[in-house]
Structure 1
Amino acid sequence: MDNKKFFGGGTKLGVDNIPANVIDNIEVIENYSEIAFMKNLVDSGETAMNINLKEDKKNFVFGDVEAGKGNRNFYRTHANLFYYGKKTTFNLIGNLNNTSDQVLTYKQYFDFQGNVSQIFNKGKTVINNSLNDFMQFIEKEDVIKSNRKFGALNINQEINNKMNISSYGIFSKTKDNALNETINQYNNFTENSNYESINHNDFYVGNIQLSYFPNLKNKVYLKTQIKSTSNNYSEDNKSITPTTNSSFFNQKTANATYFFQTLEWYKKSSNKNTYTFMSNLLLDNSAINKQWLTPDNTLVGFIPISEQENYNLKQFKRTKNLNFENNFNYYKVINKNNHLKTILGNTYIRNKFISQDVQVLDNNLINNINGFNNNLIFKLNDFFIGQYYKFRTGKFTFNQGAMWHFYNWEVDQESILSKHKNIILPEVSILLEFNKSKKIKLNYNLKSSFSDAVNYTNKNMLTSYNSAYFGNQNLENELYHTLSINYSRFSLFKGLRFYLMGNYIKQVKGFINKIQYQNINQNVSILMLDNPQNRWWFKGNIRKKIGNFKYGFELHYNTSSYKQNVNDNLQNNKNNMFTYKTSISTLYDEFPSVDLEFKQVFGEYLLNDISSKFRADQFIANLDYSFFKGLNVKIDFSLNYYSNKSFNQKNTYNITNSTLFYRKENSPWSFKLESNNIFDIKFKNQYSFSNYVISDSKTYIFPRVFLFSIGYNL
């Protein structure tokens, strides 16, 4: 906003909360770079939106407050407060609701991940984190009962013409109830699983950035981010298979903290020489306690536990992760058509993982389960150096190079296992730019990644009420080829936007699951295999404006094939999905705005010899109409059809929402009547697929809401 970052670049927070009447215009900046002198050296691929305020809203406090009450004691309160001065900006956002409004979404979570500039992405060590992902604590979309509180504060302060401090804080407190009925198709049996869950979660994010610009050719950033969460989760689960009928009560408490600090330095010493340096430290700790309670003896014989009248299993997991990274880049401009880039860096990673699984006996004594309980430290050091050469000839731009990585890693549990490896990862990029609005880009990379500590364990641990996991300390790095091609064309004069994207991934070496079934129970371990997976997808989109109408067509196809080991048999699995969507929108200034859209999705999953097909149709109609003086009506309608012949599932439902809004011209007061899920639809169907299970879920959704709100613009 006004050339200052809003909540670290949180686009959705800006779009949803900035009052429309304070906006002068919106700029869209392609290939955005925060460092002006880096723009011609690095293709960021980022697009930024800059919201410029009206002059009379600057050096002035503005905002709005809104409070609403509805049926069944539903409520929502919302407040925004903004101040934009020459040296100081201040933004405050608050929201309280029990109507399941999503305030902290997955998209916003990723917006708050932007700590390190993409300039330092090359050479970065990739660790696939399987345990402590804050994503699991974000608000869910489909719940049947909800209570949510959200607060956010953003401050920017210019100290002087060379120094600036920006910071933001995010707070989210939720309590959600969810209800699901799921059919799970495994390799050799089908399970009907029903569960009702309650989730309490507190989530905090704090970020502060110090920016120092001694001159136009020298910039320094010091960034610090802290995240914390506290989570309590409980679930009643019923599982029915052809041979078992079981019930489980599951509980989980999780506490996690995350500290990240980075120093970035950019210096342009001359027109031909530019240097960048980054150093960052990450500390990530979590503690997770789980409990499974059941009166059924389905676990006896699956894991070494004692027969009891009731079964009470507890698990304690602790992780401590440290990541220290340094990255130095040197850019040499030979001339305007020839550039060199040299990269030198090192990453040190230390993961500590502890798990303990015990059985609490009926007499409250503790049975330490034999063959379980892990205590290991995984260390990885990655020294890397790379060289890239970028040149332009005619309409073509070529950028090619390679990174050399020298890996040293160590797994320390009952004994120490040390390994090292050298690897060269080539990269090629070709850009054909016909003009500024029409281009083709081809990219090829050979990529490498490691797993985190949990996959190196040499003892079992429980992962769910019917699954135990065993790692593999002999794992090495995964290796995979990626190839992508992108074509884009844009014409403002013709009202045309058109793009095609294709992507292919082939794993040369990768991890697969090894699964042993015992009734509904699964022993899962991990193996390293040559050529375990191929995946490719294609996406196309065209939008064309003709008169007062805008037409759109989009299609998306993806397919993958992968291997897994089931009961010591190597199997090939496949999944295919095809989606197409058509749309038409009106663009009249003084008539209703109407959006119509139709989408079909066809999916097929092959799990060994089991085939499952589904189809989902969706028709969407949206109306937005302003009439008389100050009245506005919005209606959102979606008609959905779902069919899964394999599971004999069919469902047709519609979800309709509407809003009637009134504000008299030049009045600060506004009134709103809104209704969500007008026809009180109870559930919707969803389809999912993992490495060894096909799932068809009936997800219950939030009930009908009528809400009357009064707002006031400051």
Structure 2
Amino acid sequence: MNKLILLLAAMLLTSIAAHSQNVKITGIVIDSAGTPLQMANVIAYGSNKSLGAFGITNQDGRYQLLGLKKDSTYTLKVSFLGLQATEEKVEKIQEDLVKNFVLLEGTDQLDAVQITYEMPVSIKGDTIVYNADSFTNGTERKLDDVLNKLPGVEVNEDGDVQVEGKNVEKIYVDGKEFFEGDTRLATKNIPADAIGKVEVLKNFNNVSQLKGLGNDQDRVAINIRLKEGKEKFWFGEATAAGGYGGDDFRYQAQPKAFYYSPNLSLNFLTDFNNLGIPAFTGRDYNRFTGQRFSNTSDAGVNVNTNSNGGRLTTFQNNRALEIESRFGAFNGAYQVNKSLGINAFAIFSSVDTDARTDSRRFFTPADESLAASSRAPLTEFTEDLTFQRNEQAIFKVGADYKPNDNFTLDFNGQVNIADNTERSALISDRVEINRETGDPERIIEDVAQRDAQKPIVIDQNLNMYYTASDRNIFAFEGRYVDSEEDPFYNAVRDFRDQQDPEPFNGRLNLDNADPYNINQRNLVDTRRINAKVDYWYVLNKISNINFTVGTIQSRQDYNSNIFQILDNGGVNILTDDDLVNDVRYDFSDIYAGVHYKIIKGKFTITPGFNVHQIETDTDDLLSDNDQTISTTEFLPDFNIRYDFRSSESLRADYRQVINFADVNSYAESLVFNNYNSLSRGNNNLSGAKTDQFSLNYNNFNMFNYTNIFAFVTYSKQREALQNSVELDGINQVNTTINSPLANESVNGTGRITKEFGKIRTGLRATLSYSLFNNIINDQAQESENFNQTYAVDLRSNYQEGVNFDVSYSYNLSNNDQGSRTTQFTTHRINLGADWQIGDAWQLTADYDLNLFRGEGQDNNFDFLEAALYYQQPDSQWEFKLAGTNLLGTEAFVSNNFGQIITSTTEQFVLPRYVYLQVQYEL
């Protein structure tokens, strides 16, 4: 640890020393009338045309050029749209200088300046245009490497992109969506050397007629402009790798091809590997199959109709013993004529995963007498070996028809198919109180589990937007979903060295067996329609009024049954009324709303409300226990925004929403969810009403490249949909209820990044507090969770030599369940280096150290990865020798707080392996 701190300090001191040898040029840019020019470009480049520094003037016309080398000669270029550009040479600069410029009226010389050197940043209305080559040094390989070097832009480990703290909705390539605009597939696959410019589209709305009508100020998209020569023919890469590790051969085959022309774009992606790199994760699948983003405002009522789609565990990159991935995807867009465009994609993915997870789980005491006694709450130690196969296929075709600027019609049809299985062998080791003797008794139980499901979803949506006149605008958005889900679950429970007691104290009325083999079949059929019509009346340039009418109609048919496989192979089908579900659940919401938007100076104010007539109808086909609940709800919302300037704003938002559960939560017979868990629904449920308040602050200063964003959200949930738990040892029976006790949460994040020449620094703090009221064995128990993370990072972007990426974070998690308090801390240090050696060699390394403390456990684990690249200038061939988990770490540790269980988990990872990779650029 001390050596790492010394290394970190040495790197920081080296950076400071290097920075102290630099000089800066500052000044003011005005026009001939003496008016300061905001957003003028000032560029300093050396005699070899290399970029020294650049600056953008602020509202006072001030600029600064940082990080210039002493005793060097630079040419300063100053330009502003509509005025004559000017330049001045500064020879052998020795100290900080002040240079002021006056731009005269006349022919716009911008194009001539760009021929000599591309402007790094230009601003055109709501669009910021970055010239990629001005920020890169040639070592970048994918789009995410490029984006991470742009001021105000960040890409996280999952491939999610943020601009000035706002999530990027879509990524386009030459104006065409890349795989439905999915940011991760774009950032991980688009080659860096194909990228010419990055256009950040602020105040984004992909329907031109709606732009400016709503609150689009925080919506952002990115458009990638390909380099000259990349936009009209095929390009791409073919990658092959082979190596050894963990007694297995390691391989990767990854050909990719891209074609772009004005009327046609084609993208082909493939990836076959067992290097622990899933090309298409469960999170990616959810992105492509989740709720479509609406271009109009949300009405405030949400109903869940995805009953069982998220059952199976998903694993992150390298967080399993073995991961074998097979992936293929096609995306295409064809502009038939000026009015009609057609787009389609197909995605196929199959991932096999072997995993081992060891957990230490603390169960919340079931009553206060146990909490007050000297006995510790029940602790379960588990070891879980899992094999999982996740196979997905997604097909989509769409069309956009826009015969003129006043009419837009688009249709999208999508089919989602999956075939997922999971088998696990779990060992549960615990001490429970013997019911007969009252003495503690150690129990070791073997549990074999199997999950399987083959859901299929047909998802279609039709949108139409019509501008009748300058003052009258209409929109229709409709969606129809038809899905069938068939989750199956099986658990075999076997106590070692004793006759197995019947699980769940005989609730299932099972025949005596040893072991107990319990199975659950489910079938959920869902049909859902969402439709709404919006009408805007534009009062004037600063205000409009929006009227909305819409509906949500859904029907879910659900049946389930439990059966037992006996010791002799026979089948015991459980037919008790309490163990079989055959339920039809209808949900109806008809609503209307009004919103008014007005701009007053720097304020934008949008108050409004929606009125909903909601009805839930539950029909139990096996009994007369039917229930219909009707309610009228008034849901207000209010948004106010203050723009200090074009790049700095403060936004406050309040809204009231209601969330309804799916059919599972209304079916009242028992369902076998897990080896130690049963659940039942409740047909008297109403929606959970939540008050949500958020405050967001954004500030991006192009003058000194300081980016600040912060947000805080508060929510209070009334009549929350949660479980009332009957807890007996590790076994639990959950009943969905509307809790009479309120749940509250507060979450906040703040981040500031600032660039000093070629070095970007960042500070981040994230705080979250939640207060939940649980009901365990008919007793209310309050649970508080407070989580804090503080982080600092430092990243360089030199054109030559060594670049580094250093970060430190501290996480503190506290959980207070009244009878038990737990605390976990994690220190994480990450050191990354990128060393360009001459023209052909590059060495990269990444070291990650984690120091975990909690519940008497001290667990330190670290990971080291390194790669050596070789590529001759202008060569299409690249060679890479790489190693991962070079320190041979076996597992990483994490903690989790739940309603009933607090756990510490040790997840085993891929072994050390080394491989040789060859890549050919097409």
- How would you bin the TM-score normalised by the shorter chain? over 0.9
1:314 corresponds to which residue?
Answer: 519
Instruction: Return the letter of the residue paired with 1:664.
Output: Q
Following superposition, the deviation at residue 552 of structure 1 comes to: 0.7
Name which of 88, 92, 105 aligns with 2:281. 105
1:54-133 paired onto structure 2 within 5 Å: 54-71=227-244, 72-105=248-281, 108-113=284-289, 116-123=292-299, 125-129=301-305, 131-133=307-309
Instruction: Return the letter of the residue paired with 1:230.
Output: D
1:53 corresponds to which residue?
Answer: 226
1:562-581 paired onto structure 2 within 5 Å: 562-581=772-791
2:532 corresponds to which residue?
Answer: 327
2:619 and 2:186 mapped to 1: Cα distance?
A: 47
- Answer with 541-550 or 389-398: which moved more: 541-550
2:870 and 2:215 mapped to 1: Cα distance?
A: 46
Following superposition, the deviation at residue 457 of structure 1 comes to: 1.4
Choose 1 or 2 for highest CA Rg. 2
Deviations 1:573-598 (CA, angstroms, capped at 9, x unpaired): 11110100001112322232211100
1:323 and 1:209 mapped to 2: Cα distance?
A: 20
1:606 corresponds to which residue?
Answer: 816
2:405 corresponds to which residue?
Answer: 216
Say whether the 8 Å CA contact 1:574–1:606 is kept in structure 2: yes
> What SS is found at the alignment partner of 1:108?
helix
1:596-675 paired onto structure 2 within 5 Å: 596-644=806-854, 646=855, 648-675=856-883
Name which of 537, 551, 555 aligns with 1:346. 551
1:376 corresponds to which residue?
Answer: 583
Say whether the 8 Å CA contact 1:512–1:565 is kept in structure 2: no
1:185 and 1:135 mapped to 2: Cα distance?
A: 23
Instruction: Quickly say closer, same or farther: Cα 1:461–1:115, change in 2 above 3 A.
Output: closer
Following superposition, the deviation at residue 302 of structure 1 comes to: 4.1
2:826 and 2:907 mapped to 1: Cα distance?
A: 15
Following superposition, the deviation at residue 273 of structure 1 comes to: 1.0
Say whether the 8 Å CA contact 1:106–1:135 is kept in structure 2: no
Following superposition, the deviation at residue 105 of structure 1 comes to: 3.1
1:697 corresponds to which residue?
Answer: 905
Following superposition, the deviation at residue 354 of structure 1 comes to: 1.1
1:159 equivalent in alignment to 2:336: yes
2:306 and 2:471 mapped to 1: Cα distance?
A: 43
Instruction: Return the letter of the residue paired with 1:271.
Output: D
> What SS is found at the alignment partner of 1:118?
coil
- Answer with 228-237 or 362-371: which moved more: 362-371
2:629 corresponds to which residue?
Answer: 419
2:511 and 2:311 mapped to 1: Cα distance?
A: 36
Say whether the 8 Å CA contact 2:269–2:328 is kept in structure 1: yes
1:247 corresponds to which residue?
Answer: 446
2:304 and 2:411 mapped to 1: Cα distance?
A: 26
1:37 equivalent in alignment to 2:240: no
Name which of 160, 166, 171 aligns with 2:348. 171
Instruction: Return the letter of the residue paired with 2:338.
Output: N
> What SS is found at the alignment partner of 1:73?
strand
Instruction: Return the letter of the residue paired with 1:68.
Output: A
1:3 equivalent in alignment to 2:3: no
- Answer with 620-629 or 118-127: which moved more: 118-127
More strand as a share of residues? 1
Instruction: Return the letter of the residue paired with 1:437.
Output: S
1:441 equivalent in alignment to 2:651: yes
Q: Gapped runs of 5+ residues in structure 2?
A: 1-172, 366-377, 433-442
1:552 and 1:21 mapped to 2: Cα distance?
A: 27
Name which of 761, 774, 781 aligns with 1:551. 761
> What SS is found at the alignment partner of 1:507?
strand
Deviations 1:285-326 (CA, angstroms, capped at 9, x unpaired): 111122111333243424321211322111101111111111
Instruction: Return the letter of the residue paired with 1:355.
Output: S
2:678 and 2:290 mapped to 1: Cα distance?
A: 35
- Answer with 141-150 or 594-603: which moved more: 141-150
1:336 corresponds to which residue?
Answer: 541
Following superposition, the deviation at residue 143 of structure 1 comes to: 0.9
1:139 and 1:654 mapped to 2: Cα distance?
A: 19
Following superposition, the deviation at residue 134 of structure 1 comes to: 5.1
Deviations 1:86-119 (CA, angstroms, capped at 9, x unpaired): 2111100000001110211355335424774422
Instruction: Quickly say closer, same or farther: Cα 1:108–1:596, change in 2 above 3 A.
Output: same
1:676 equivalent in alignment to 2:884: yes
Instruction: Quickly say closer, same or farther: Cα 1:700–1:18, change in 2 above 3 A.
Output: same
1:385 corresponds to which residue?
Answer: 592
Following superposition, the deviation at residue 695 of structure 1 comes to: 0.9
Following superposition, the deviation at residue 632 of structure 1 comes to: 1.5
Say whether the 8 Å CA contact 1:238–1:247 is kept in structure 2: yes
> What SS is found at the alignment partner of 1:219?
strand
1:269-288 paired onto structure 2 within 5 Å: 269-288=468-487
1:8 and 1:288 mapped to 2: Cα distance?
A: 28
1:517-528 paired onto structure 2 within 5 Å: 517-528=727-738
Q: TM-score, normalised by structure 1?
A: 0.97
> What SS is found at the alignment partner of 1:650?
strand
> What SS is found at the alignment partner of 2:532?
strand
Instruction: Quickly say closer, same or farther: Cα 1:287–1:115, change in 2 above 3 A.
Output: closer
Instruction: Return the letter of the residue paired with 1:180.
Output: T
Deviations 1:476-535 (CA, angstroms, capped at 9, x unpaired): 111010000011111111110001100000012212321112222111112212343000
1:256 equivalent in alignment to 2:455: yes
> What SS is found at the alignment partner of 2:193?
helix
> What SS is found at the alignment partner of 1:241?
strand
1:398 corresponds to which residue?
Answer: 605
> What SS is found at the alignment partner of 2:917?
strand
2:3 corresponds to which residue?
Answer: none
1:366 corresponds to which residue?
Answer: 571
2:390 and 2:739 mapped to 1: Cα distance?
A: 39
2:899 and 2:388 mapped to 1: Cα distance?
A: 26
For the aligned residues, what is the CA RMSD? 1.5
Aligned length: 712
1:537 corresponds to which residue?
Answer: 747
- Answer with 505-514 or 155-164: which moved more: 505-514
2:709 and 2:465 mapped to 1: Cα distance?
A: 34
2:306 and 2:906 mapped to 1: Cα distance?
A: 27
Say whether the 8 Å CA contact 1:8–1:111 is kept in structure 2: no
1:207 corresponds to which residue?
Answer: 396
Instruction: Return the letter of the residue paired with 2:729.
Output: N
Q: TM-score, normalised by structure 2?
A: 0.76
1:124 and 1:149 mapped to 2: Cα distance?
A: 40
2:308 and 2:792 mapped to 1: Cα distance?
A: 39
> What SS is found at the alignment partner of 1:194?
strand
Deviations 1:537-589 (CA, angstroms, capped at 9, x unpaired): 11100011123322110001100011111111111111110100001112322
Say whether the 8 Å CA contact 1:139–1:174 is kept in structure 2: no
> What SS is found at the alignment partner of 1:306?
coil
Following superposition, the deviation at residue 138 of structure 1 comes to: 5.2
1:528 and 1:167 mapped to 2: Cα distance?
A: 43
Say whether the 8 Å CA contact 2:424–2:450 is kept in structure 1: yes
2:423 corresponds to which residue?
Answer: 234
1:295 corresponds to which residue?
Answer: 494
